[in-house]
Structures are given as C-alpha cells and as structure tokens.
Amino acid sequence: MSMSLIDTFIYAFAHVCLLSCIAQTGQTQRQGNTGAAALRQTIQWQHNGKLFSILSQGSEYQPPLKRDGNKEQAQARPVAIVRNDDAATRTDSSAPSRASQSRGSVRVPSGTGARGGASRWLSGDGARTRGVHGRRNHTDPLRSINGTDRPAGDDEVMVGDDPYNPYKSTDPDNPYYNYYDTYERPRPAQRPGYGTGYFQNGLPDLVGDPYYIQASTYVQRVPMYNLRCAAEENCLASSAYRSSVRDYDMRMLLRFPQRVKNQGTSDFLPSRPRYTWEWHSCHQHYHSMDEFSHYDLLDATTHRRVAEGHKASFCLEDTSCDYGYYRRYACTSHTQGLSPGCYDTYNADIDCQWIDITDVKPGNYILKVSVNPSYQVPESDYSNNVVRCDVRYTGNYAYVSGCHISQY
C-alpha cells in the first residue's frame, strides 16, 4: 500500500513538473515574440540560378500607407529587402502595415562599383540612390491633392521615372547610367535680354543729338598730306582730286561731332552681310555699311546744296550706354551694331567727320546730318533721323546755332 502511494505521488509530481516546464516555455516564447524574436525575418535571394534563404535580425520593414486606407490593419509578417547587384531582388509578399507604426528602412552598404561612396536606402517607396550627404538631384513635382498643390512625397514618385535625370539609375553598373547627357536635355529658348543675345522685340530707332553737334562744330585748315586716308574714302570735295593739287595745298574743313542713340527696342545691325564688310587699311577697321550717315551743307535761302556731301560708312559699336544698359558691340570683324539704350559717338577730330567747304563762299547756310538716310535698316520711326543746324560762315570761322531734329 505504501509503495503504491509513493509511486502515485512521484507520478503526480513528474506530471506537475512537466506541465510547469511547458507553461514556462510558452510564456517565454510569447515574451520573445514581442522583443528581439519579432525581428527574425526570412531573407531570400537568387544568385546564378540558385535560391538562398537565411534568418536575419534586420530591421522591420513597413510598406507605405495607402492614402485611402482608413482602417488599421495588422501586419502578417515582417519582410526585409536586400538588393543584390548581380541579380534581381526576391522578397516575400507582405500585408499592409499598421497605420499607427512609422515606416522603417534597411540600410545596406553598396558593394563594389558604388559611385562616390553612395549607400542604398531601402524603404517603402522603393530603392533610391543617395549620396553621402543625402542630397537630392531632382526637384519633386507638384501634385494636386484635395484641391491643394504641394510637393509630391517619396511614395508618389517612381524610381527612375525621369529619363533626363543623370542620377536616375539605381544600379551603378548600369551601362545606360547617365544615358541622357545634361547638355542634350531640351531647354526652352532664352528670351532676348540685355547682355544675353540679339534683341528681336520690335525695331530699332536711331536719333541724332543736336546739342552735341552745336557745341563742338568748328572750322579747320588741313594740308593735303594729312588727308590721304580721307581721300581714299572720298571724304573730300571733287576739287581735291585734281591732278594739279599738291601735298601742301590747304583744305578748309567744317568739322562737327555726331552722337547717334538707339532708343528703340531692337538692335540696329548692319545692312550688309559680314563677309561683304570692307577693310580700310588706313583706319584699320571694317566698315559694315555703305551709308550710315550723310552730310550736306545747304543754302539758307534756296536750300540748294552748296557743298558736296559724302556718304559716311562707319564701324558701328556701342561707345557708351545709359544707366542700366550694357555695351555689347565693338568695332570688330565679327560683331558690329548698336544696342538699345546705347550711343555710337564720333568725335569731330576723326577722319571724314566733316564737310569740305574749301570752295564755299562766306554766308548763311544749313548743316544737315542724316542717319540711315537710305532707310536700308528698318526702324520704328524715321521722322527723327535728321538734325539741321543754322551755320554762319565768315571764311575763317563758323558759328552754329538752332540745331534741332527735323523730319527732312
């Protein structure tokens, strides 16, 4: 009897110990599932046609939340994504994440061939290549959500959706990395602007400066040996080309300056093509127009021409400009013109800036200076291209007054 009681007691005690161990083991497993054991994940990848699988303690992956999801849904099992440079990534499908939890990410350092020490960040919106400082190389577009415009989030942009983004490739070994060069990307044409290109808005408008002419007009006697370059350009009266003229013969010249402003909205460009510009060896520059200005001396009473005027073909350039405007043309072989808001100034002491009045008698006359006289270059207003001045010539001196802009 006593032996049966002892056996019964030992049998019951063994059952109690076994049940206690089973209960403790279950409790331990339940506690571990909420801690580090919950981070155990199955990672699968494929390499050379073989499927590999390991158990990892990596971070928990949370897929992006749906915008229209209002109900909280529990995640079935965590999934870790690892990108392999040699093969495509294979991951297990997962259920939508809990709305209350934040999205996690797994950072996997890139292997050989990474550009600039870049590291891959794997998150819910897919793999993106970021630099060491995490700098973005594109601008997020604006997307209308609920009637308002705001920058699109990471979960709204596809990986490599911009074919013109040189950093769009997620694979550094991609042979088409930076396929579209930055300079080949289509760009909108630049609008004409000061200092950037030719003006194409509107037309130029040349206007002379009558006060500049009136303030600096004078008479000068010059010997013929100092007028050889001017004689080559036909800047003298016909009497200066006679065979009897000697180098020490004197010529009487009515000198005056000229300052022309382009007050239009477009560049004043030469009427002749660049390959037809004439090189003048005496003055060492190209003349881009046959007739930029014309000078005449008229009788004050009959308005008859008393002195042979001449065509002045100059080298167009921006001598000076108003405040806020910049010089863009110079007297060169490839660019000549007059920019809006700028002046082309010819002082009275340069060659051909005169009228030869050697054969003119003393009296009252009218000095007429015309700009673009043949209308070879279109302008918005031709009524301000002429400057007329009253001149009283005594034979040795000239007095100029009443300079004004005229229509003829």
What is the mean pLDDT of the segment spanning 369-390? 94
Highest mean pLDDT out of 20-29, 228-237, 287-296, 337-346: 337-346
- Predicted pLDDT of residue 150: 46
> Using one digit for the tens of pLDDT, what is the confidence trace for 324-373?
999 999 887 778 899 999 999 999 998 889 999 999 999 999 999 999 99
What is the mean pLDDT of the segment spanning 266-283? 83
Count CB atoms within 10 A of the CB of residue 385: 23
Encoded amino acid at 402, one letter: G
* pLDDT band for position 220 (cuts 50, 70, 90): very high
- Predicted pLDDT of residue 229: 86
Report how far apart, in Å, the C-alpha atoms of 27 and of each of 19, 20, 34 are: 12, 11, 11
Higher pLDDT, 29 or 12: 12
Higher pLDDT, 282 or 130: 282
Q: Is the pLDDT of residue 381 over 80?
A: yes
Provide the β-strand partners of residue 369.
295, 387
- Predicted pLDDT of residue 286: 78
3-state class (DSSP) for residue 238: helix
Mean pLDDT of the chain: 72
* pLDDT band for position 155 (cuts 50, 70, 90): very low
> Using one digit for the tens of pLDDT, what is the confidence trace for 20-40?
777 776 666 555 555 444 445
Beta strands, E only, 50-92: 50-56
- Predicted pLDDT of residue 172: 52
- Sheet containing strand 126-130, edge to edge, reads 106-108, 119-123, 126-130
Residue whose entry in the numeric block shows the structure tokens 């392999």: 84
Contact at 8 Å (CB) between 217 and 367?
yes
CA distance 151 to 357: 76
Beta strands, E only, 176-263: 206-208, 218-223, 250-255, 258-262
Higher pLDDT, 242 or 79: 242
* pLDDT band for position 48 (cuts 50, 70, 90): confident
* pLDDT band for position 320 (cuts 50, 70, 90): very high
Residue whose entry in the numeric block shows the structure tokens 């999801």: 69
Q: Which two tokens stand for residue 164?
A: 């013109």
User: What global pTM score does this model have?
Assistant: 0.52
What residue spans define the domains of the chain?
206-406
Percent of the chain with pLDDT over 70: 58
> Using one digit for the tens of pLDDT, what is the confidence trace for 55-66?
665 555 566 655
CA distance 215 to 256: 9
> Using one digit for the tens of pLDDT, what is the confidence trace for 353-362?
999 999 999 9
> Using one digit for the tens of pLDDT, what is the confidence trace for 71-113?
454 445 555 555 554 444 444 444 444 444 444 444 444 444 4
CA distance 190 to 47: 51
What CA dihedral angle connects 290, 211, 221 and 354, to 10 degrees?
A: 10
Higher pLDDT, 398 or 154: 398
Half-sphere exposure of 17 (CA within 13 A, CB side): 6
* pLDDT band for position 116 (cuts 50, 70, 90): very low
Q: Is the pLDDT of residue 188 over 90?
A: no
- Predicted pLDDT of residue 193: 37
